Structure 1
């Protein structure tokens, strides 16, 4: 859908100007409460059948003509709070839905007529369906583009009924995300916003920071797994200036894709869809001693990976190379060119692996902080467009040294170590800094943990080299 996407980008600025003008006035007309159920004289089909027609066609966009088909669905979006604009999101059932779709409509607001939970029928003849930005949508075809249903055609195309159902959120986990859940009203339980967004002296708003353009994107993380998702809020929403809640709990919203179809994201209709009633956060413990001025001469552990066999998993020298999920582990590699290795380096990545999830650990031998003073950690990292994947530097005082005990051990974050970012040039190597570990105690292990987003055609790779742990 490259043509559709380019057209959308070109029109975005104009659309946002109109959006800004439209959403500022909350004095909407009162909807007509007397609804006469429409008489449907054609064939009633479900949303899944519409999506199936597109998939079976093998085309980027298809148009319904002379079918006499009507698609039924329930409204799960609301533009009352300004977080949705000129679109209706429908799902097939009020409870336990299996399919959702977006209907593009050149009208604002829509909630006064098509309110949350309202059952509607969409007259399909004359409409087209396409995958736009990774999400199945319905509108009117203009060449190879999908345009919005005109205001003059809305009432004869989108037929509302008298039924307003109670929408029951579908409870899912972030790790469950797939195309099958797109455009459904879901609930994420036991989640919280990342501590960097809500704690400290400058907690963030939903979408009113200087760096927010079009959408404010915040990290929503699970308290029961290592999963996270981007939580998006329009910079034109009525609640953009509210501070994010710092507690933890559940979020009800619509799962979709970001504007460039690079990752999953969730949008809410209103801040009331956030129920953070637990004031005990699940933040990891941290080892934060800052950066040391000097590096000791007593080397406790080091590896430049030159003794490793390329294209084989890292082994020996006390390393524990553990694949928690998927098929990819840390392996030795060498490469020349723009994205060159430093001789032989360690690399991990889930790109094109076909794995639904990738979690890989590379853990050092035990380091005794009590028996040594001035302990520091140094390493270098590079990436090949890390994209949706992450690399964390962790530590544990209670790991028993076995692979079976890795996931049950307590792992904290070594906060002061710099790890290359996706925004860094992929051909460069970046030093961690001389990371001070001296404020820790006991026997610890240092882990390099890679987590893919579950989209193996999108996740990139990380490279690691020159790992050194020293003491005075």
Structure 2
């Protein structure tokens, strides 16, 4: 064999080895690396809650876009990793919380590193050096990174080991159990568990079951409605269209979900993001749906109605079988009329947390009992308006097991009437919007229908809703 052929064969062999070794494959084992435990004095550790508190103080003095920059040497925050990019649902971010169970604070770290799960496994304790980093609100979530003009940018990859120090401790994370109704800004970036939830029936009970994030309309993220099977509240499960499980079908049953509480890209709505599909345990076949849909025309005979014209302006709604109940806070449904730029239709029912100074507001307006077995073809119609709803929420729910006692409202099972349209914050605040005609005819038994308002005195959640021309009819 001549020397040139030997060289060619060796070259081909080397190229083949190089090509094979460069094939991208994220399904690999995490390397076992020895960690030399860093000695960080307790005096240099600042709690995540304290760091977030410092930002909140600056926001009060300055504005919601305030940013603080750390320059004191040898200061660290410590926490436990609760995010994982192994399945591709997180990208160039690390989320930590301050305790392995019953956390009280969490924070996001923006860093130009991918993947991260090979170094920062779920449950690993880490220390974040603060000097040189800045903290601000990014996409509605407190985020640590480097200051890039007037925004929080990513920590450069070459600074990874300078700012993030691994501990040898890897622990079990116990999720914080919350109801959707308990979501708040001070629960952001925590690993939570929500029990008794299901996906909206339109995504799983129609002719085609939706995937997590592989529908033609999904861009960047797939957003799927999760509904509480106990109190009727709903939230969004957000999944990246780059995740490994984007094409997995959503489960039809109900159950529990574990994930991180965060916000959407615009920072104006709470989202749940999971590390991978094992976070869902949907093993209960019993669903709670209102599935009559909409009707083409309303019933011809009035069963219950109210236009609130007999109410006294600025006084709580009374009479006509209504139950009003303030579950949290001090605000309630009251009669209201206005001739300004947001005119009422005569007198309407209004509720608002604006100026209440209440940390949280939940106010109920409930119809008298409606017996759906005594007639046929029942329908519901109403109209809504608002004054800058912000992130406050009005939803329409019904219950078949509430006993009529206001003090037991929170313990009853309420199911969302998802077909009825309610004015959105993006709609014109000086207009009134029809709910459409909601078909009630497939339900049976005695039900209560409730208009439930959720808000607070914080700027993001302090909106106002008005309600008018409610009519339940039948044929």
TM-score, normalized by the shorter chain, greater than 0.5 = yes
Query: Could you tell me which of 298, 317, 321 is aligned with 1:318?
Result: 321
- Judged with a 3 Å threshold, the aligned counterparts in structure 2 of structure 1 residues 225 and 33 are, in CA distance, closer, same or farther, namely same
Q: Distance in 2 between matches of 1:157 and 1:284?
A: 49
- 1:458 maps to which residue? 460
Which whole-Å deviations, capped at 9, do the CAs of 1:43-64 have from their partners, x for residues lacking one? 5404334334545666733333
Give the direction of change, closer, same or farther, for the CA distance of 1:333–1:300 in structure 2 (3 Å limit): same
Q: In the alignment, is the contact (CA less than 8 A) between 1:188 and 1:251 conserved in 2?
A: yes
Q: Structure 1 pair 265/373, CA: closer, same or farther in 2 (3 Å)?
A: closer
More divergent stretch after superposition (234-243 vs 381-390)? 381-390
CA distance in 2: counterparts of 1:257 and 1:142, whole angstroms: 22
Give me the whole-angstrom Cα distance separating, in 1, the residues matched to 2:132 and 2:413: 58
Counterpart for residue 129 of structure 2: 123
For 1:87 and 1:414, how far apart are their aligned partners in 2? 37
Q: In the alignment, which residue of structure 2 is the partner of 1:10?
A: none
Partners of 1:383 and 1:104 in 2: how far apart? 37
Report what 2:141 is aligned to.
Answer: 135
Q: Please, what is the CA RMSD of the aligned residues?
A: 3.4
Residue 36 (structure 2) pairs with residue 37 (structure 1):
yes
SS at match of 2:349: strand
- 1:175-190 matches, within 5 Å, as 175-190=181-196
Number of equivalent positions: 445
- Inter-CA distance 440–56: structure 2 relative to 1 (3 Å threshold): closer
Question: Paired residue for 1:430?
Answer: 433
The reply to whether residue 248 of structure 1 matches residue 254 of structure 2 is: yes
Give the deviation of 1:321 after TM superposition. Answer: 2.8
1:291 and 2:289 correspond:
no
Shift of 1:241: 1.7
1:147 to 149, 153, 174: 153
SS in 1 for 2:460: coil
Secondary structure of 2:85's aligned partner? coil
Q: Is this contact kept in 2: 1:35–1:161, CA < 8 A? A: no
The alignment's TM-score, normalised by the length of structure 1, stands at 0.81
Q: Kindly indicate whether the alpha-carbon contact (under 8 Å) linking 1:375 and 1:469 is maintained by their aligned counterparts in 2.
A: yes
Name the structure 2 match of 1:112: 118
| Partner of residue 69, structure 2 | 63
Residues 201-226 of structure 1 show CA distances to partners (whole Å, capped at 9, x for unaligned) of 22222122233333222222333333
Kindly indicate whether residue 155 of structure 2 is the aligned counterpart of residue 156 of structure 1.
Answer: no
In the other structure, the counterpart of 2:312 is 309
Q: 1:344-380, CA deviations, whole angstroms, 9 ceiling, x for partnerless residues?
A: 2222233443444433333444556666566554433
Within 2, Cα distance between the matches of 1:289 and 1:88? 42
1:47 aligns with 2:57: no
Task: State whether residues 45 and 77 of structure 2, in contact with CA within 8 Å, keep that contact through their aligned partners in structure 1.
Answer: yes
Which of 74, 85, 102 is matched with 1:96 structurally?
Answer: 102
Structure 2 alignment gaps of length 5 or more: 1-22
Unpaired runs of 5+ residues, structure 1, are 1-23
C-alpha displacement of 1:301? 4.0
Stretch of structure 1 that moved more, 55-64 or 324-333: 55-64
Q: Show structure 1 runs of 4+ deviating over 6 A.
A: none
Q: Match for 1:328 among 326, 331, 354?
A: 331
CA distance in 1, matches of 2:422, 2:261: 29
Q: 1:117 to 1:408 in 2, by over 3 A?
A: closer
2:15 matched to which residue of 1? none
CA distance in 2, matches of 1:30, 1:233: 24
Residue matched to 2:84: 78
Task: Please report how far the alpha carbon of residue 438 of structure 1 lies from its aligned counterpart in structure 2 after TM superposition.
Answer: 5.4
2: CA distance, partners of 1:155 / 1:366: 63
TM-score calculated relative to the size of structure 2? 0.80
From the superposition, tell whether residues 266 and 27 of structure 1 become closer, same or farther in structure 2 (CA, over 3 Å). closer
Matches within 5 A, 1:389-400: 389-394=392-397
CA pair 204-294 structure 1, distance change in 2 beyond 3 A: closer
> Of 379, 383, 388, which residue of structure 1 is paired with 2:386?
383
Deviates more, 1:115-124 or 1:444-453: 444-453
Q: Determine the C-alpha separation between the residues in 2 that align with 1:89 and 1:294.
A: 50
Decide whether the 8 Å contact of 2:37 with 2:168 is kept in 1: no
- The reply on whether 1:217 has 2:218 as its aligned counterpart is no
The farther-off stretch of 46-55 and 407-416 is 407-416
* Corresponding residue SS for 1:261: coil
Aligned partners of 2:293, 2:157: CA distance in 1, in Å? 60
Deviation at 1:163, TM superposition (A): 2.6
